[in-house]
Amino acid sequence: MGSPTIGSLFAQRVVVGVGDLSVSNNGQLTLSTYALGSCVAVAAYDPAMKAGGLLHLMLPDSTISPAKAASQPAMFADTGLPLLLRAMDGIKANRARLRLLVAGGASVLCNSDVFKIGERNIKATNSYLSSLGHTIRHSVVGGTINRTLHLELASGTITLKTPVGTESYSLAA
């Protein structure tokens, strides 16, 4: 196994809860979000700046609760995605260099989800990002399993954990 590196001794994790987001250009940070079911996570990364952001949105459309959208805009796709992009601008990330991963949007309770929240979250996310000309590099959405996501800012590596295994994706290359 070997000894830990100095960097790993000081590495920190920022947990992004449901309806929240975080951005940083601190290479010692890992942004993490847990138990994505019908919720959707959007990871954004600028490899030149080693700057990243993570949004954990819960619902596609803020018009169902304008008061909630005003107090917690990251909860909704239509208010959270613009907020994520503005926050990335605030840490000097370049939108033209952003590399995106979208995960979640599962139907974890049953296959006959009458509200189709996961599907609607995926559609709202994809529609918004494509309307701005953004390409989603990796999309790990749908299905019936929950997902946990970790974005390492030093490397742009995403680790995606599910009940059936772990996968890695690079947003740096």
Amino acid at 117: I
**H-helix or E-strand containing 33?**
strand 29-36
CB atoms within 10 A of CB 159: 15
Fold of 12-170: 60s Ribosomal Protein L30; Chain: A; (3.30.1330)
Cβ 164 vs Cβ 144: under 8 Å: no
Q: Judging by DSSP bridges, how do beta strands 29-36 and 12-15 pair with one another?
A: parallel
Amino acid at 14: V
Alpha-carbon gap, residue 160 to 67, rounded angstroms: 33
This model's pTM is above 0.85: yes
Q: What is the mean pLDDT for each group of 10 consecutive residues in the chain (173 residues)?
A: 62 94 97 96 98 98 96 98 98 97 88 80 98 97 96 98 96 92
Please state the domain extents for the chain. Answer: 12-170
